[in-house]
Amino acid sequence: MSVAVVGSVALDTVETPSGVNKDGLGGAAMFFSLAASNFTRVHLIGVVGDDFPQEHIDLMASKNIDLDGLEQVEGKSFRWTGKYHDDINMRDTLDTQLGVFETFQPKLTDAAKNAKYLFLGNIHPSLQLDVLQQANADFVALDTMNLWINETREDLEKVLAKIDCLIINDEEVFDLTGERNLVRGVKKIQEMGPSIVAPKKGEHGCLLFVENKIFSAPAFPMAEVVDPTGAGDTFAGGFMGHIAQQNSIDYDTLKQAVIHGSVSASYTCEDFGPERLKTVTTEDITARYDAFVELSRF
């Protein structure tokens, strides 16, 4: 089965202790699509400006990504500039230029409407609601951020009531629920709608709550993290890609999907932007999945 994703496609300028990547291919929906396309067909819904390099479009088109829903319109592409600290888990946003993304009104193609699996990337919850109304998906997962939690809570709660799965940073569980304890916080989120909640903990891995069951996935220990940008988005891509490929949301599949998400995220961190991810093979994915088995088996 295929998966549809709605979100940003951007040009990122990133500085990390390993160096600088200027105007690199970025954006949550791009990272998601690249990771998910290793598992299944992806329908990308997004927008870029007329300044968007053709090579970036060619790269995405060379993968199992349907770009019929990627509009290219007059204006500037979304640009994000960030700098990571020596502690690579911390970063500052130096500049955000929304450009054509500011007035983005997602329009789903027929293929995206009919995708059985849908990922609502981190955009205004009123747009996420609008996409939900266009879509016929059986299983919907969502990302959000503290901006929407704090500024547009009412809309966000409407979306949460309609979705199946929330993929969220662990500190956002506190923003959303006021609970510092993750177990209690997730319980509150489940009461808002999604029975499946996956709090991401960066270098500490990820938890998966499915109703009353809890699974804990490690992060892949890395001697060097070149650029963590997009790690969370590729986690979601690997997670949803595996679910769509298996066409199942049983507990075992969901747990394996978390590991596939973690595999994608770990490769993403090995180089700037999508550089490493774009050359990842099925064999690479299998090898790292096996490494996760070794890492956590006792």
∠ CA(250), CA(252), CA(258), 5° rounding?
Answer: 105
Reported in sequence order, the residue ranges of the chain that DSSP labels E, i.e. its strands, are 3-6, 10-16, 19-26, 42-49, 65-66, 70-73, 78-84, 91-97, 117-120, 139-142, 165-169, 196-200, 206-210, 213-217
- Assess 88 for contact with its own copies (CB under 8 A): yes
- Assess 187 for contact with its own copies (CB under 8 A): yes
Are 160 and 190 within 8 A, CB to CB? no
- Assess 205 for contact with its own copies (CB under 8 A): yes
**Binding residue (CB under 8 A) for its own copies from 103, 146, 216, 286:** 216
- Assess 283 for contact with its own copies (CB under 8 A): no
Q: Tokens representing 92? A: 């500052």
Looking at beta carbons only, is 83 or 278 nearer to its own copies? 83
**Binding residue (CB under 8 A) for its own copies from 20, 94, 214, 287:** 214
**Binding residue (CB under 8 A) for its own copies from 55, 58, 74, 87:** 87
- Distance in angstroms (rounded) separating the CA atoms of residues 292 and 256: 10
- Assess 258 for contact with its own copies (CB under 8 A): yes
- Assess 250 for contact with its own copies (CB under 8 A): no
**Binding residue (CB under 8 A) for its own copies from 92, 151, 252, 290:** 252
Looking at beta carbons only, is 44 or 219 nearer to its own copies? 219
**Between the CA of residue 36 and those of 65, 147, 244, 263, what are the distances in Å?**
9, 26, 9, 12
- Assess 55 for contact with its own copies (CB under 8 A): no
Q: In what order do the strands lie in the sheet with 78-84?
A: 19-26, 10-16, 78-84, 91-97
| Nearest distance, CB of residue 88 and its own copies, angstroms | 7
- Assess 1 for contact with its own copies (CB under 8 A): no
Site for its own copies, rule CB under 8 A: 86-88, 180-184, 187, 201, 203-205, 207, 214-219, 221-225, 252, 255-256, 258-259, 293, 295-298
